[in-house]
Amino acid sequence: MKTLKGPALFLAQFVGDAAPFNTLGSIAKWAADLGYKGLQIPSWDERLIDLEKAATSKTYCDELKGTLADHGVVITELSTHLQGQLIAVHPAYDVMFDGFAPPQVHGNPKARQQWAVSQLLLAAKASQNLGLTSHATFSGALAWPYVYPWPQRPVGLIETAFEELGKRWMPILNAFDKANVDVCYEIHPGEDLHDGVTFEMFLAEVKGHTRANILYDPSHFVLQQLDYLGFIDVYADRIRMFHVKDAEFNASPRQGVYSGYQSWENRAGRFRSLGDGQVDFKSIFSKLAALNFDGWAVLEWECALKHPEDGAREGAQFIKDHIIRVTERAFDDFADARTDEAANRRILGISELKSVQ
């Protein structure tokens, strides 16, 4: 068994233009003062990292690590959630997802997708230069508008979508393999990889690629009413990253999992700060410890009600309290009879018998 590393914090929901959230050094000090040991960095935010420079300069990467080390924290992973989303975009979402890309590719889906691919390739090299072994991202989606089978889907529509998704990701996965870094897809509604079955469909298209892995976030499974504990058992060998995020689902006579187009605070399923939702984190941390998960426990704060700084402060202690320092010996070692093979045979009543010729 292994002890999870942490607590760590995903910075995407905290970086901003006001101090201490506007530079890597100042936000690292703020997080360290709260008790965080690691930071997951959104690669699209130039206030925190120059992705192209990180991909081409180990000296720059050493400087980044040094900035964090000054405050007693490390980089856990880089994230390309926004760029990964743009690897595959259905035309229905073109206008909304243009905002994830630079202005020069707006209104040009082909150029936008090429830009996204280049970003993922940079992230592979940057991760390698930083000495990281895992990377967080989204898969993007071509089939998501057809998640509900009405009108009836044409035969082969979903298969074609996943075949194309696999083709787009295969060279990226190969680049990450060359960098010795796992690609961890956050299983998330809005992505074609939104549950176990869709992850398996994608895995088949990329020929079981060893770098195609999972960022496990139980909050998205609560909102889908999926067995998030059983998911760990089924996909243990593919789970490489862990977002510690809480959620709740409160079904009512008026709305269910689709939540009637309501705002986050009025949805039946909504994200909550750690400890305020329904996720059984004691069981999750126990399962991950037993399965030798040696990654980071990373807080991704998203809550419709609580202030983010309160969520970050409480979250650091919450994760610290849930990380299980695994035992190095069995609890009943004191009763070890110190027997050997001969004694074991005597205990079982197994006598030495001559073999029958």
Q: Detail the DSSP E strand segments found in 124-216.
A: 134-137, 182-186, 212-216
Q: Within a domain: residue 357?
A: no
Residue 216: both structure tokens together: 């496990």
The distance of Cα 56 from the centroid of its chain, to the nearest Å, equals 25
Residue reference for tokens 């998640």: 147
Q: Within a domain: residue 279?
A: yes
Q: Does the pTM of the predicted model rise above 0.75?
A: yes
Identity of the amino acid at 256: G
Euclidean distance between CA atoms 12 and 15, whole angstroms: 6
Q: Within a domain: residue 267?
A: yes
Q: Within a domain: residue 352?
A: no
Judge whether residue 163 has pLDDT over 80. Answer: yes
Judge whether residue 228 has pLDDT over 90. Answer: yes
Domain of residue 81, residue span? 5-329
Question: DSSP alpha helices (H): ranges in 296-354?
Answer: 308-322, 341-348
219 three-class SS: helix
* H helix or E strand, kind and range, residue 298: strand 296-299
Average per-residue pLDDT for the chain: 95
Residue reference for tokens 């996909």: 235
Q: Where residue 53 sits, what CATH number does that domain have?
A: 3.20.20.150
HSE value, Cβ hemisphere, 13 Å, CA-based, for 125:
15
Residue 133: both structure tokens together: 């072994």
- 346 pLDDT band, cuts 50/70/90, is confident
Q: Within a domain: residue 242?
A: yes
Judge whether residue 357 has pLDDT over 60. Answer: no
The distance in angstroms from the start CA to the end CA of the chain is 46
- How many structural domains are present in the chain? 1
pLDDT tens per residue, range 274-317 = 999 999 999 999 999 999 999 999 999 999 999 999 999 999 99
pLDDT tens per residue, range 58-114 = 999 999 999 999 999 999 999 999 999 999 999 999 999 999 999 999 999 999 999
Judge whether residue 333 has pLDDT over 80. Answer: no
Backbone angles phi, psi at 279, to 5 degrees: -70, 135
Q: Within a domain: residue 337?
A: no
Q: Within a domain: residue 351?
A: no
Identity of the amino acid at 38: G
Q: Within a domain: residue 335?
A: no
Backbone angles phi, psi at 27, to 5 degrees: -75, -30
Q: Which of 168, 174, 167, 162 is nearest to 211 (CA)?
A: 174
